[in-house]
Amino acid sequence: AQRVTQPEKLLSVFKGAPVELKCNYSYSGSPELFWYVQYSRQRLQLLLRHISRESIKGFTADLNKGETSFHLKKPFAQEEDSAMYYCALSGSSASKIIFGSGTRLSIRP
């Protein structure tokens, strides 16, 4: 069965500290993994996807098929990174996408 697990509901770090938001998945085929973000009073929007291998706003995420993980990382947190982050999973040819329960990231000054 397809499943996305984000074990932390809330993650609080100081400004300038490294950030890692955890995401583990379960999927039998070839997965497509995404991170979506929702800033306060804004819409849910795509942050990055594993196939593009980009760094967006300083965030990166590497797909580790051995550990079935897609953790989101940033070396130095900024206050504007405070938001709700959702990990999502889909199959390359599937229309269905599954979201994790989300992690609220709070950056303390």
Partner 1 sequence: ETGVTQTPRHLVMGMTNKKSLKCEQHLGHNAMYWYKQSAKKPLELMFVYSLEERVENNSVPSRFSPECPNSSHLFLHLHTLQPEDSALYLCASSQTSGGANEQFFGPGTRLTVL
The site for partner 1 (CB under 8 A) is made up of 4, 32, 34, 36, 43-46, 49, 51, 86, 90-102
The answer to whether 62 and 74 have CB atoms below 8 angstroms apart is no
Query: Residue 14 or 95: which CB sits closer to partner 1?
Result: 95
94: its two tokens? 């599937």
CB of 32 to partner 1, least distance (A): 5
CB of 89 to partner 1, least distance (A): 8
Rounded Cα–Cα distance for residues 17 and 103 (Å): 17
The answer to whether 85 and 36 have CB atoms below 8 angstroms apart is yes
Query: Residue 13 or 97: which CB sits closer to partner 1?
Result: 97
Please report, for residues 2, 14, 19, the alpha-carbon distance to residue 68 in angstroms, rounded to integers and kept in the order given: 12, 28, 19
Query: Residue 31 or 77: which CB sits closer to partner 1?
Result: 31
CB of 34 to partner 1, least distance (A): 8
